[in-house]
Amino acid sequence: MRHRVAGNLLWMLADRGLQVAVGIGVVGMLARALGTEGFAHFQYAQSLVFIAASIPLICSAEVVVPRLVASPSAEAMHSLVAHAFAIRLTAGIAGYGLMCLWLVITQQPSDTWIPAATLGTAIMLREPFGVVIAWMQARMHNRPNVVFNLIALAAKAGLIAVFLITGVDLLPAYATAFAIEPLVAAGLLAWYYLSRAPKAIPAYESALTRDLVRDGALFWVSFVMMVAARRADQLILKPAVPLAELGTYAATMQVLDNFTTVATILAAGVAPMYVFAQKSAVAARRNVLRVTGVMAVIGLSGAVILALCADWVVHLLYGQAFGDTVILLQLAALASTLIFADVGLSLLPVYLRRPRWVTLKWALVLATTVIVDTIAVPRLGTRGAVLGYAVANAIAVIYGLILVLRGSRAAATATASA
């Protein structure tokens, strides 16, 4: 069993690693093809899609996977997968509609409208068909998903490379290339599941639908706030700075998003053994602090290297047109160390099954981002957004430390009184 768990984890980590590696290359090609202003339009459209894509997370893996593991039969699992798919698809359609409504209300130009509408098709594909990934996780067999992701990534990267080589610089063309990835992945996931699932169409159960929505609601609020917190800066920046500056900031955040993904990979690798397997909450808290310390050191080391190599990284990925990204990347890279610490500290609410704590954290992060950016961006431009990024991450770490240390003192007091 341990070998199976370890093997499945390695496949999951390989999947994330592949996505990061290909993502870096794709972003570099995209930036070179579109230039700073075109890249800014594209990244703004992606931010809108990213936020809207949080709507289908109302029935997330945190709710589905444990239920699938506990399902007594293949038929019960099939019914659960079907109901989760229906919930996610309905929410995905709603998310796409809300995104289009935002585009209308804010009167976005066609350079934003067209890529957003094209990229937005992923809202109705990724999470609904992603329920098959949850089914794979419950069966501890993630290898097919890694293969499918690799095929979909190759299709996207290959098409973008062809466009770049042939000199295509049209936003809709690159948006279409990006939209192909979730379409290919959804098709492969559907084929894999339907070829192995029971053939009967499950009967609709309103009670199961209500349970899935109710149990997932609090996690969903956390996801929505997290996504909004990570993209609110670009929404605030667009009307406040020239498009070229927004493009350089978006390029900075693309590099950092890929860098900080290492934190989630590390947490996924160590949490099951060092935190979630602990019988005692005291031991779990102690290990959370240890894991957080190690992750913070790794994050700081990587951030320093990234800051020192910022000029080389920017010119390698984006080219000379993104020269202003260098200083932004140096500043933001050092602030990204806080994300490594935050990811480590966030293991405690997960261990204790306290989603309300996570929801409150992201509410604080979102509020901090909006407040700091609203004040700083008009005065400092993109550097004001970097300041908001740093302050918001600091708030998240302080909040996490308060939870861990308060719990540790409470546990110590209880032990002494006993």
Which pLDDT score, from 0 to 100, does residue 407 have?
A: 62
> pLDDT tens track of the chain, all 418 residues?
556 555 655 666 666 677 777 777 787 888 888 888 888 888 889 889 989 998 998 888 778 877 887 777 888 888 989 999 999 999 999 999 999 999 999 888 888 899 999 999 999 999 999 999 888 877 767 778 888 988 998 899 889 989 988 888 888 999 999 999 999 999 999 999 999 888 888 888 888 889 888 888 877 888 888 888 888 888 898 888 888 888 889 888 888 888 888 888 788 767 767 787 778 888 888 889 999 999 999 999 999 999 999 888 888 888 777 888 889 999 999 999 999 999 999 888 878 878 788 889 999 999 999 999 999 999 898 899 999 999 999 999 999 999 988 865 544 443 344 4
The pLDDT of residue 208: 87
Q: Domain limits of the chain? A: 1-203, 221-418
Instruction: Indicate the DSSP class of residue 275.
Output: I
Give the pLDDT of residue 350: 78
User: How far apart, in whole angstroms, are the C-alpha atoms of residue 394 and residue 17?
Assistant: 27
Distance between CA atoms of residues 288 and 411, nearest Å: 15
pLDDT of residue 417: 42
Q: What is the pLDDT of residue 342?
A: 94
Contacts of 311 (CB under 8 A, 6+ apart): 326
Question: How far apart (Å, rounded) are the C-alpha atoms in residues 128 and 131?
Answer: 6
Cα–Cα nearest to 291, from 228, 340, 255? 340
